[in-house]
Structure 1
Amino acid sequence: MTNTNPAVDPRLQRLLGGTALHELRMRLRRVFTRVHDGTGDASAAEPVLLTKLSPVEHEALALLTGRPPRTAKSIRLDIAAMDATLRAAGIAESLRAALEILDGPIVNPTAIKAGIRAAWEQMLTHESWHPLLRAWLGAPSAIQLLKRLSRQDVATGRTLLKRANMVVDRLPASGVPRSQLAAETLGNAHALDRGEATATIILAAWRHQERRTDDYEGDPDQTQPSDERVRDIWARAGVLVNELARPVLYLNLPVGKSSRGEMPGEPNYTSLRRLLRSAPAWTVYDTTVFVCENPNIVAIAADVLGERCAPLVCTDGMPAAAQRVLLTQLSQGGARLAYHGDFDWAGLRIGNYVMQAWSAVPWRFRNSDYEAAVATCGATRHELGSDFVSAMWDDRLAISMQCLGTAIAEEAVAKTLLEDLGDT
């Protein structure tokens, strides 16, 4: 490597420059990077022994130190003396300065890493962040995620947190579309789309808050939430994403007079948009609201019981955003939720979620109910499968299901469920 900088003293170029001495210069630079005082000043260091020198390298060092050239593969260098020689000759202020003139600044990797760590620590603990972000940043997983999203760059990480902070200051919202929130806070309607770094931070911080304050487990897959899970997280923050997708089905939910009237005895659908923007005034305090897994149960209840049917909500499988928001509104309104689902592993998984998230109780969904169903539903039962899931509300239920290997659809026990729904 030959330095072509016209500011380099020709004498320095002859002494240490050129391709033949490049490796020697790199070895000398490492002398300074090994100094642990953080300055790289090796003038006070012990003499340095360089070995395995080529004849050209030994000759260059001999000229620098004023020693007569001789055939040798090692030499002991007094850095302070070399500094004095270079200054006296007017070539450079020091050996370090000479090396920096030829090949650029010498940096201390340890000091640089320490500085980067300090910068991250200062940025992560800054008091200006919203409390929700500060709480999230205290988790090791948060720091890992932020560094990954910022590609380990502190400045980029700070920018991402500032953008997330601007959005979080607007939460929880009251049914604002995500694109509108993004446009108003970040100037880009797509800045909070799925996969965007700012959106990823906000969703992670919101889930962290829920797990801290409510012991809320949220999405089954926390690391790579599906589109439906993402929609649900935003909904819990009052933000609409695809607000008309998968509305919630219910029957005979009591509402106040100020709310839009519903036809008694007929199933109704309502969207996530309506639930967040103008939620009905549910009058469910101290009322049992039954929750089923399958829409067919709602249809059967409407056909058989009509207006006499107790309040009934359908999760339609694992509750999506609209279903979760409605169940939250009913729970916060003082309703007592009672859940029934399919006697299969998916049904138990949904039951675990509903009972934990909304403190629901099992509705005809215990081991004794399963055994009774097995005895009476021989023609409608089917093979269970091997994906074992325990039931948090009844230790014996999953064991019995596994032993018998039989799954029973919710529709097969509809007659029994109707007895409860009609007993109002």
Structure 2
Amino acid sequence: MTGSAEAYERYRAPEFRRLLAAARRSLERNGGEIKGSIGLTNPTTAERNAIIGITGTYRSADVRRITVPLSALEQSVRNVTAMSLRDVLERIGPELRFRADERTALDQARQTIRAEGEASPLHAEHSWYRQWLAGLASDGTITGLINKKDTHFFSQAVRVLEHLYNQPSDAPPIMLPALADATTGDTKALNPGRGSLPTLVLRALAMARGIPLESGAEARRELWDAFDVIVDDLASRVLVLNLPAAGQGLGQWLTDAARYGTPFHVTLHQLITLPITVDLPTVYVCENPAVLRRAAGELGAGSPPLICAEGRPSTAFHRLARLIVEAGGTLRYHGDFDWPGIDMTNQLRARYQAEPWRMTAADYLGGVRADSDHAQLSGKRQDTCWEPELAEAMERENRAVYEEAVTDILLADWSYESQGRSSEA
């Protein structure tokens, strides 16, 4: 029976289970070398008899621990099966894992990935990228990718980020499937649930924006939108009021809506497929749709041109804003007096040279005095370069003034402006 398949099957018996488990641990710890001894504590009668058979040495029934030289077990196994102890252990399964070799291979794989990440031009140009790379290394993400044999997702993530940051500032928005195809060859690679790639990229983009990575489809869409990546060109839209435009289809619809003072939702799909030009000297921008709704209800066709960011500007918003500014128009922005609202003001100033409107320290303090029931400010303090006193007042008062609370003042200004236009006409 020596060397036959039936011979090594005997080592599957219960009396060998703990002994071979100890042998496996020793071999894995020592890189497969047969050295040292293994032992069993409180052996059963069957285990004691098996070890007596292996060593040829009698052990009394009251023995508490039996030690077996690994070389003796190796020789016994060879005598019975004509196979090495390692071969028998791997036949029984699973394959041996040599910890030291695995650690070395893992360290080398980590170094390879870090080197690949550091070779990207983004590493020298952007602190957020360096922070992203360091985070992946420190929190076990890179190790997880290696263990799952998913390191190609990291390479693809770097390519996606490079593609986004190598785009010229005036590049048109890109559809998510087109971005995925251009960087991975798979149009669905950046869809949720397609491995680790979408999360890796979105984690980096959130870091670049200085915001936490939130869960949920809406948060993902808004984050992609912030980088002019279109998840759904029908879902991305911007709310407008009294914004006449030139152009067939959409331009005609906007002009007709303005004639009646009717709010109009413009989708990104419409802006792409039905090009328009907007020739207006001034367009007001508000943050909250409730403000636009009141302007439509109380001023109607007399309201000045108005577009709404609806909390966070969408890709459709940015595309329309760019059209207005490129045609020589000026955006005048009003938003919430809280730190996210100030951050949005700064972003619109930097991107479109938008003018803060009714966003002074006096306006803020007037809002605080008008209503004592205000939420406390939260989030990171933002600078108000157009009027440093505003940030100082906000920090001192530590109260948020939301746009809806000062809508009466905004409408009064717009009404006065409307009367001025009427008298000129």
Band the TM-score falls in, shorter-chain normalisation: 0.5 to 0.7
Cα offset for 1:275? 4.2
For the 8 Å contact 2:42–2:64, the answer to whether it is kept is yes
Q: 1:109 to 1:226 in 2, by over 3 A?
A: same
Q: Alignment partner for residue 19 of structure 1, among 1, 11, 14? A: 14
Q: 1:73 to 1:303 in 2, by over 3 A?
A: closer
Partner residue in 1 for 2:361: 367
SS at match of 1:247: strand
Percent same amino acid at aligned positions? Answer: 19
Cα offset for 1:190? 6.0
SS at match of 1:138: helix
Cα offset for 1:241? 0.9
Q: Does 1:224 align with 2:215?
A: yes
The more displaced of 313-322 and 129-138 is 129-138
Cα offset for 1:420? 7.1
Q: Which runs of 5+ in 1 are unaligned?
A: 376-380
Q: 1: distance between equivalents of 2:68 and 2:400?
A: 81
Cα offset for 1:230? 0.6
Q: 1: distance between equivalents of 2:279 and 2:311?
A: 25
**C-alpha offsets along residues 119-142 of structure 1, whole Å, 9 cap, x if unaligned?**
455456547998679948614258
For the 8 Å contact 1:291–1:338, the answer to whether it is kept is yes
Q: Does 1:140 align with 2:100?
A: no
Q: 2: distance between equivalents of 1:63 and 1:145?
A: 47
The residue type paired with residue 32 of structure 2 is G
Q: Alignment partner for residue 238 of structure 2, among 247, 254, 270? A: 247
For the 8 Å contact 2:367–2:405, the answer to whether it is kept is yes
Q: 2: distance between equivalents of 1:195 and 1:383?
A: 46
Q: 1:229 to 1:384 in 2, by over 3 A?
A: farther
Q: Does 1:58 align with 2:58?
A: no
Cα offset for 1:369? 2.1
SS at match of 1:31: helix
SS at match of 2:27: helix
Partner residue in 2 for 1:378: none
Q: 1:291 to 1:333 in 2, by over 3 A?
A: same
Q: 2: distance between equivalents of 1:232 and 1:26?
A: 51
The residue type paired with residue 33 of structure 1 is E
The count of residues paired between Structure 1 and Structure 2 equals 384
For the 8 Å contact 1:174–1:238, the answer to whether it is kept is no
Q: Which has the higher helix share?
A: 2
Q: Normalising by the residue count of structure 1, what TM-score does the alignment of the two structures yield?
A: 0.65
**C-alpha offsets along residues 69-119 of structure 1, whole Å, 9 cap, x if unaligned?**
5443444433345545655x4744544444445555333345445545544
Partner residue in 2 for 1:358: 348
Q: 2: distance between equivalents of 1:239 and 1:363?
A: 30
Q: Does 1:41 align with 2:33?
A: yes
Q: Does 1:78 align with 2:69?
A: yes
SS at match of 1:249: strand
Q: 2: distance between equivalents of 1:145 and 1:233?
A: 25
Q: Which runs of 5+ in 2 are unaligned?
A: 385-389
Q: 2: distance between equivalents of 1:405 and 1:130?
A: 42
The residue type paired with residue 412 of structure 2 is K
Cα offset for 1:272? 1.9
The residue type paired with residue 19 of structure 2 is L
Q: Normalising by the residue count of structure 2, what TM-score does the alignment of the two structures yield?
A: 0.65
Q: 1: distance between equivalents of 2:188 and 2:400?
A: 51
Q: Alignment partner for residue 271 of structure 1, among 244, 263, 267? A: 267
Cα offset for 1:23? 1.9
SS at match of 1:414: helix
Cα offset for 1:413? 3.8
Q: 2: distance between equivalents of 1:312 and 1:103?
A: 71
Q: Does 1:7 align with 2:5?
A: yes
